[in-house]
Amino acid sequence: MAGSAPDGGRPSPGGGRPLIITEDPLLLDDLLRLCAAAGADPHVHPTVPEPGGAAAADGEAGSAGWESAPLVLVGDDAARRVRGAPRRTGVFLVGRDLDDPHVWQRAVEIGAEEVLRLPDSESRLVDRLADVVEGAGRPALAVGVIGGSGGAGASTLACALAVRAARAGERTILIDGDPLGGGMDVLLGGESAEGLRWPDFAASRGRVGAGALEESLPELHDLRVLSWDRGDRVVVPPAAVRSVVAAARRRGGVVVVDLPRRVDEAVAEALAQLDLVLMVVPGELRSVAAAGRVAAGVRMVARDVRVVVRGRCPGGLDPESVAGLLGAPLAGEVPVEVGLPGRVAEGEPPGAQGRGSLARFCDGFWQRALGSAQGVPA
């Protein structure tokens, strides 16, 4: 049984192959089936492989080792045989007996992170295996942008943030979360570009492949964009939104989501996965009042909401006062950029001019956010 699963022994693109330790043929069949569903090509051993063993003889030294495998699945039948192996992360005890009262003790003995009982935990296991295949590392920094009132300029800021992140060399995905907006692909001058749109993902269930998602989307100005088509409105279920945003995050880099002001179940799924939400508020009292109602809905789901004041504040208001009235930290001020609407109409996306006030705000934001070892600085 020692060796690797069928299919030519091609290593997984994630930089390592999971290790399966079991002699239970029925359990092994299940695990190989789940590996195939995740696109993973595992090594299979009856016990902890010795250094310099079968894998090394095949020219794959270390790739099947207990300590070097990115993920180790220990069958319940093999728990006692691996009891003395060095402790490490990424070990899972897998069994098919849902009524075994001693399984948790065996999990502790081998230092397992989790007990996975099949078939109940199949989707969880496929997710972990797919992470190995995709080489999932640090997730993307996910930033949402929402208007505090109508015409606040949230879509313009979202587009500019994505453009500036891409020009700084970050892997960037821009997601249009507003089905009633004008379309982020239009702002980028790519409404006719080939690639999938939101309606193509309406039937998505479970895990969406991160690499497949990225490659399927239109590429405009060095970033990928998920927008809406020009056909009849299609309702995208909350589960599909959750799967798509999660897949975008797994690729790392930056994800920017343009959000509608109404927080329904689908928008809540996106908000729950964001590291930060920027609320764009024109600096006048009526807009601040409207933003207060929007902020109340967003805060029910989002972890971190900050205010971006757009334009000058008349009537004695200043950016700090606007943020104070909304009870949120001030992320900064974006002056109105003269000539921007005309340039957008001619096909130039917001943020393309590096010397403009919008681009300067975005560059400063990413320098602070991406330069912080702890994530988004306060």
124-160: pLDDT as tens digits: 898 888 878 776 667 899 999 999 998 899 999 999 9
pLDDT at 54: 45
pLDDT at 119: 92
For tokens 């016990």, name the residue: 47
DSSP assignment string, 283-302: SSHHHHHHHHHHHHHHHTT-
pLDDT at 337: 82
pLDDT at 51: 61
Whether residue 211 has pLDDT greater than 90 = no
Q: Poorest-confidence range of 55-69, 101-115, 200-214, 277-291?
A: 55-69
CA 220/CA 235 separation, integer angstroms? 25
CA 204/CA 227 separation, integer angstroms? 16
Residue 132: strand, helix, or coil? helix
Q: Poorest-confidence range of 116-130, 198-212, 224-238?
A: 198-212
pLDDT at 7: 40
Whether residue 64 has pLDDT greater than 70 = no
* Type and span of the H or E element at 172: strand 172-176
pLDDT at 30: 95
10-25: pLDDT as tens digits: 333 344 789 999 999 9
DSSP assignment string, 30-67: HHHHHHHHHT---EEESSPPPTTSHHHHTT-TTTT-TT
Pair 330, 303: CB distance under 8 Å: no
pLDDT at 279: 98
pLDDT at 161: 97
* Type and span of the H or E element at 142: strand 141-147
Percent of the chain with pLDDT over 90: 60
Residue in 87, 56, 59 with CA at minimum distance from that of residue 74: 87
Tokens of 125: 């296991």
Phi, psi of 101 (to 5 degrees): -80, -10
Q: Poorest-confidence range of 5-9, 42-46, 49-53, 264-268?
A: 5-9
Q: Please report which confidence band the pLDDT of residue 1 belongs to, taking 50, 70 and 90 as the band edges.
A: very low
Whole-structure pTM value: 0.73
* Strands laid side by side in the 43-45 sheet: 3-4, 43-45, 19-21, 72-75, 91-95, 114-117
Cβ within 8 Å of residue 199, ≥6 positions away = 228, 229, 231, 234, 236
278-326: pLDDT as tens digits: 999 998 889 999 999 999 999 999 989 999 999 877 766 889 999 999 9
Whether residue 255 has pLDDT greater than 70 = yes
pLDDT at 212: 83
pLDDT at 309: 95
